[in-house]
Amino acid sequence: MRLKAIGFLFFLAVSLNSFAQDSFYKTDTIREIKISFYQNNWDAILDSLYIKGDRDRILASVLIDGENYDSVGVRYKGFSSASINRVKNPFNIKLNYTIAGQKHLGIDKLKLSNVIQDPSFVREVLSYEIARQYMPASEANYANLYINDTLIGLYSNIEAVNKEFLEKHFSSTDNVLVKGNPEEVNLFGENSNLSNSPGTDTLSYSSLYSMESDYGWTELYAFIDTLNDYEHALEQVLNIDRALWMHALNYTLVNFDSYIGYAQNYYLYQDDDGLFNPILWDLNMSFGSFRLSDASVYYDGFSIEQAKTLDPLTHYNEFSVFDRPLLRKIFENSRYRKMYLAHIRTIVEENFQNNNYKNRAEDLYSLIDQSVNADANKFYSYTDFQDNIYSTVSDLIDYPGIVDLMEGRSAYLSTYYGFQGAPIVDSVIYSPLEPVAGDTVLISTNIYNGSNVLLAFKHDTGNLFENLLMNDQGLYGDVAPNDGWFTAQVIATGAQIDYYIYAENDSAGIFSPERAAYEYYSINGIFTPGDIVINELMASNTSTSQDENGDFDDWIELFNTTEHSVSLAGLYLSDDLLNLTKWQLPAQTIAANDYLIIWADSDSQNSLHTNFKLSSTGEILFLADANGLLLDSVSFMQQLDDVSYGRFPNGTGDFTLLSPTFKSNNNTADSIPSSSKLLVDAFPIPSVNVFYLSVSSQQESSFELFDVLGRLVCEKTIAAGVSETEISIANYKPGIYFVTVRNSDQVSTLKMLKL
């Protein structure tokens, strides 16, 4: 998520990634889901699977808001909240269980929670809504569930942490995904606490963690090993800011059915930068509904009044009865502690001091009121539901009134050391306003009561920010020493720089924007045509170069013509003039005078494989930016097997047939004789008044030009040999035309556009 800093003001009209505002999980919506099981004894089968701990599914059809889906797979969800003695069990519904690709509004898995341990019915949906402001977290709303046309009750409808979730938040899906989910929770043990006490054998961790990806035990152990014994290298394996946000949310919302309690109910995803990212999960017992342990001072549980004043740094200020390295190892760093408390301040100020949480809880109450009243299988009375937003409800345990709890919690946290006394970020400015690659960009901020100021920046859409210490010493672009203006220099590498500011003093820290690093400022620069060029391609690779899977795929070579690194963020390749943003290039940089190979195989194996193939009979390849500005293009004719088509001289020359120079300078290539084939090229495309036809053939050829309706509008005879002929199209209407050249053996056709 990003913002833009302009002049001396915070421009807070945030360009937020509003993920699926009208999606299946739109918050203020109650979905209707009807399961029809094919077997009459469906409940007995599901009960038996639950008793055995079997995660197999049984078949059913599902009607979702009137849309029917056949042969879906159904099982109970979250074995701790299911029971053979309950009517209202949680469900996990897999729409594509037997029918590949079957989805509802892009969703293939539904997770329905039965709202146990929450008389208010709002804890989970409200908590996810708060969390989504600060880190990737599931969307959530409500659903009325029917089974065989009988209303079972109102459920929380929670977005699964699966490939769709990962693609949305991390732009990747195939890396390591682990769930902190012990097979049996040890009420007086470590569980999924990320300690290395099980030893060096990865098999010893299999009962404590659930591997959700195809691989990852080695990577998980390497992360655990670094966390416990090599914390100086922690930034190389952990997205620390995401961990700080997760801890801040758990401690602020008193969500102890999580890592900070019994060390469970979280995910870790290893992004493309190699960092593990914590992801919240299972928030139905937030707002003090779970109070059995904090693994420290209150290892045997805590009361509602104690919940209001839980120390958010207890695993630093006190002791850990059960080890919590993801807390203690991070909090040993004083800067991380200040950052963590800055995140807590943001959560409290943006949600609790202004009563936004109370207003949202009341909105949700009004939305679900009738559905809760109609839910004959709910675990608490309708009166309990009416009371629990404000008042404690007593059942097997005392469920605190959310408002009562959070008024006390907010007041306590607001006076916590490190909450008050933070620096003030008065303004953020930068110049030049539209940098080009190679420009030195000055980013400055006016800070009151701050001693250390950091600039975190990145050049692409990945997760990895670099840190620079900003200076107020009149150096490196800083105008005057000790005037409260701190400055840092960044070299632009492309169309965008993302950044945020962090400032601290002896007692407290603050971010700008305050939701950093999940939100950040962006500087939109100008990409200069010619910096990155299409340098070489091969459209018929039968034996020359192999990709990482051993396949001989078509390839495209990009070349950075400059003396500085240039980012590909915001650039696209396409073979379709009407869709110049067909395939987005990976958000990475190419070093000065360096090359990058893109595999054109229509197989999205990773970020270096396009969603289209090159045509060996000839077509046009385009390089453009996100606004459709054409930065480079090449029109190529029919290609020879294992012969490339590249610029000669390297990077700047015209295209010609070459012996391949895969990821290297074309100036070393040999020119390929073209007499053995009919080779045709037309340029420039698009054209205005004339275009040039290049033909190489040992035979006499005929040229024909057809309009989009197939009508012949021009024809010529082309002599044998290599020739270049000027074709006038000044009197033709703008549009698409087809160039056909044929000899006695072959035909070559190109598409061209007249403007």
* Structural domains in the chain plus CATH codes: 2-13+424-524 (2.60.40.10), 25-163 (no CATH), 169-345 (no CATH), 527-672 (2.60.40.1260), 674-755 (2.60.40.2550)
DSSP bridge pairs for 3: 521
Position 587 scores a pLDDT of 79
Instruction: Kindly tell me if the per-residue pLDDT of 20 is higher than 60.
Output: no
Three-state SS at 583: strand
Cβ atoms of 112 and 133 within 8 Å: the answer is no
Q: What is the pTM of this model?
A: 0.82
Contact between 273 and 257 under an 8 Å Cβ cutoff? The reply is: no
Q: Are strands 566-567 and 589-590 parallel, antiparallel or unpaired?
A: antiparallel
Q: Got the DSSP string for 151-212?
A: EEEEEEEEE--SHHHHHHHHS--SS-EEEE--SS--TTS-SS---STT-S-GGGGTTTEEE-
* Mean pLDDT of the region 511-539: 93
Alpha-carbon span 470 to 454, nearest angstrom: 6
User: Taking 90 as the threshold, does the pLDDT of residue 507 lie above it?
Assistant: yes
- pLDDT more than 70, % of the chain: 95
* pLDDT for position 613: 93
- The tokens for 507 are 């007692």
pLDDT (mean) for 745-751: 80
pLDDT of residue 722: 66
In this model, does residue 2 exceed pLDDT 90? no
Residues in contact with 59: Cβ distance below 8 Å, sequence separation at least 6, in sequence order: 37, 38, 71, 72, 73, 74, 97, 98
Identify the pLDDT of residue 471: 96
Predicted pLDDT at 672: 57
* pLDDT confidence of residue 676: 47
Residue 61 CB contacts under 8 Å (≥ 6 apart), including other chains: 35, 36, 38, 68, 69, 70, 71, 72
Other CB atoms within a 10 A radius of the CB of residue 436 amount to: 16
Instruction: Give the pairing type, strands 393-394 and 452-458.
Output: unpaired
Buried b (16+ CB within 10 A) or exposed e, 283-321: bbbbbbbbbbbbbbbbbeebebeebbebbbbbbbeeebb
pLDDT category of residue 656 using cuts at 50, 70 and 90: confident
Predicted pLDDT at 698: 66
pLDDT of residue 8: 31
DSSP single-letter state for residue 662: T
Q: Which of 661, 628, 627 is nearest to 642 (CA)?
A: 661
Q: Give the count of beta carbons closer than 10 Å to the beta carbon of residue 540.
A: 18
Token pair for 581: 């943003």
637 vs 280, more confident: 280
Q: What single DSSP character describes residue 369?
A: H
The yes-or-no verdict on residue 398 having pLDDT over 60 is yes
Instruction: Please report the pLDDT score of residue 404 as a whole number.
Output: 98
pLDDT at 252 over 80: yes
Residue 508 pLDDT > 90: yes
Band of residue 529 on the pLDDT scale cut at 50, 70, 90: confident
pLDDT single digits (tens) 530-548: 999 999 999 999 999 988 8
Which residues on adjacent β-strands are paired with residue 749?
740
Task: Give the pLDDT confidence of 399-454 residue by residue, as tens digits.
Answer: 999 999 999 999 999 999 999 999 999 999 999 999 988 899 999 999 999 999 99
Q: Residue 140: its pLDDT value, please?
A: 97
Section 721-736 average pLDDT: 85
For residue 275 the two structure tokens come to: 């960092």
pLDDT at 10: 31
| pLDDT tens-place string over residues 575-613 | 999 999 999 998 788 989 999 999 998 876 667 899 999
71-98 pLDDT, tens digit each: 999 999 876 788 888 999 999 999 999 9
- Asked if 67 contacts 73 with a C-beta cutoff of 8 angstroms, the reply is no
Q: Do 171 and 156 contact (CB within 8 A), yes or no?
A: no
Long-range contact list for 673-678, CB < 8 A, 24+ apart? Answer: 674/722, 676/640, 677/638, 677/640, 677/746, 678/638, 678/741, 678/742, 678/743, 678/745, 678/746, 678/747, 678/748
Asked if pLDDT for residue 240 goes beyond 50, the answer is yes
pLDDT tens for each residue of 184-234 = 888 878 999 999 999 999 999 999 999 999 999 999 999 999 999 998 999
**DSSP conformation letters of 70-138:** EEEEEEESSGGG--TT-SS--EEEETTSSSTT--BTTB-EEEEE--TT-TTS-HHHHHHHHHTTTS---
Query: Please, what is the Cα angle at 230 between 225 and 234, to 5 degrees?
Result: 90
Residue 618: pLDDT band (50, 70, 90) is confident
- Neighbour order of strands in the sheet with 424-431: 424-431, 440-448, 485-491
Average pLDDT, the chain: 90
pLDDT at res. 460 = 67
How far apart CA 259 and CA 195 sit, in angstroms, is 12
Give the lowest-confidence range in 93-97, 103-107, 356-360.
103-107
CA distance 738 to 749: 7
SS3 146: strand
Angle made by CA atoms 695, 701, 702, in degrees to the nearest 5: 105
**Bridge partners for 549 per DSSP:** none
* pLDDT for residue 61 is more than 60: yes
In total, the chain counts a number of residues equal to 755
- Average pLDDT for 30-38: 97
pLDDT at residue 79 in the model: 66
